[in-house]
Amino acid sequence: MNGIRWLEIAVTAPAEAAEAIAEVLSRYVPHGVAFDYGPVPADEADWERPPLPRDTFTVLAYLPMTPGWEDARQRIEEGLWHLRQILPFPPPRFRVLEEEEWSEAWKAHYDVLRVGPFVIQPTWRRAELRPGELLIELDPGMAFGTGTHPTTRLCLQALAEWLRPGERVLDLGTGSGILAIAAVRRGAGWVWALDIDAVAVRVAEENVRRNGVSDRVEVTQGSLSEALARGERFDGILANILAPVIRQFCEQGWGALLRPGGWVIVSGFLCGEQEESVREALANAGLTVCGRWVEADWVALGARRE
């Protein structure tokens, strides 16, 4: 896209509203949304300490000002107005950016990020690695999974704690491939990364190649049914999607893919009702919840097949 202008939409709101705001914005913008809560200091991302509570987020999105953008802006304002009747937060802030300013602004929100032992480096940045740190190099393209979303970070923390060297892992809904690459960096023997979205599959493949882990990660377009059809066993399954999709995986019998004692790490939902529904589904699928990671209102659960 050459020389077009972009409308930056910034909404600052309490944590419990951030997900709903992100949902409204992401319907209209091509590159997804960024959650900005200031820089995350490395020691704060240490998974052995409880995370500090964070009360306010800024959700940022960039709308290309191509024909029809005024309609999109109008619909965004309406969507946010409706949300503000339920969860009060200040009106959105708008700023027009030239193409170059946009690419700088966008990249600024995808800076180097440290989560547990992982250092996630966007392709346009160079990170200094400290001893023991594990590098993940990412070009998020148009796929989800940059590490800026709390649920990705929760999965990375959980993975760092639970994964054992040599394990075989299934990554359902791989997005940018971030969790699959992290698993290999942490010693996984082999990862099968699946996504229903063709764009995600292409982006994940590129990221896998960029990180030099093609020999240990296979990327395929598909979902649980493809995995069930192949009839392989795994030590662990990762799924950072949404509560209804995870419940569906439970109903489809994904536990059968795990060796006894194998684990699942799931995220993509909020504390409260959504979490309860996932816990119930996991239990019905013969999986015992024995791990929980929380950031703001988002949660990840870890469960094992007995």
Token pair in block for residue 103? 């690419």
Distances (CA, A) of 141 to 1, 33, 60, 129, 193: 14, 13, 17, 24, 17
- Taking Cα atoms as reference points, which of 156, 179, 149, 178 lies closest to residue 297? 149
Strand pairing report for 258-270 and 217-221: unpaired
Region 117-146 residues binding ligand SAH, contact defined as CB under 6 A: 143-145
Angle between helices 198-210 and 178-185 (to 10 degrees): 30
CB of 92 to ligand SAH, least distance (A): 24
Q: Which is nearer to ligand SAH, 7 or 282 (CB)?
A: 282
Helix (H) or strand (E) holding 81: helix 69-86
**Cβ-contact 189, 168 below 8 angstroms:** yes
How many residues bind ligand SAH, per CB under 6 A?
Answer: 20
Residue 200 in the binding site for ligand SAH (CB under 6 A): yes
CB of 120 to ligand SAH, least distance (A): 10
CB of 240 to ligand SAH, least distance (A): 3
Distances (CA, A) of 178 to 57, 113, 185, 211, 274: 23, 12, 11, 10, 24
Residue 155 in the binding site for ligand SAH (CB under 6 A): yes
Q: Which is nearer to ligand SAH, 133 or 197 (CB)?
A: 197
| Helix, strand, coil abundance in the chain, percent, nearest 5 | 35, 30, 35
Q: Which is nearer to ligand SAH, 160 or 178 (CB)?
A: 178
Region 206-265 residues binding ligand SAH, contact defined as CB under 6 A: 223, 240-241, 245
Q: Which of 92, 173, 236, 302 binds ligand SAH (CB under 6 A)?
A: 173
Q: Which is nearer to ligand SAH, 7 or 227 (CB)?
A: 227
Q: Which is nearer to ligand SAH, 12 or 157 (CB)?
A: 157
**Cβ-contact 176, 138 below 8 angstroms:** yes
Q: Which of 46, 101, 161, 197 binds ligand SAH (CB under 6 A)?
A: 197
Binding stretches for ligand SAH (CB under 6 A): 143-145, 152, 155, 172-175, 178-179, 194-197, 200, 223, 240-241, 245
